[in-house]
Amino acid sequence: MEQVPENPNIAIQKAEEHYRSSSESYTTESAESHLAYYRDKHPQNYRTLLEYYSN
């Protein structure tokens, strides 16, 4: 996983929209969940969503 800045400058609405749109094109050809895929491929957005929903 790549390094993610401590305070990503991504709005929560933009991160949520991106997550939803990426799930529409995600295919479940492997056992990997969309969330795991998203965490690895879009770490800044993932961290934004994680911080928002963990508070």
What does the pLDDT read at residue 44?
A: 92
End-to-end CA distance of the chain: 23
pLDDT digit string, tens, across residues 2-55: 454 555 567 888 888 888 888 776 666 665 678 888 898 899 999 998 888 887
The number of domains in the chain is: 1
Q: Is residue 28 domain-resident?
A: no
Q: Is residue 49 domain-resident?
A: yes
| Rounded CA separation 42/52 (Å) | 16
Q: Is residue 17 domain-resident?
A: yes
Q: Which two tokens stand for residue 52?
A: 């928002």
Q: Is residue 4 domain-resident?
A: no
Q: Is residue 6 domain-resident?
A: no
Q: Is residue 1 domain-resident?
A: no
Q: What is the pTM of this model?
A: 0.53
Domain of 47 in residue numbering reads as 12-23+33-54
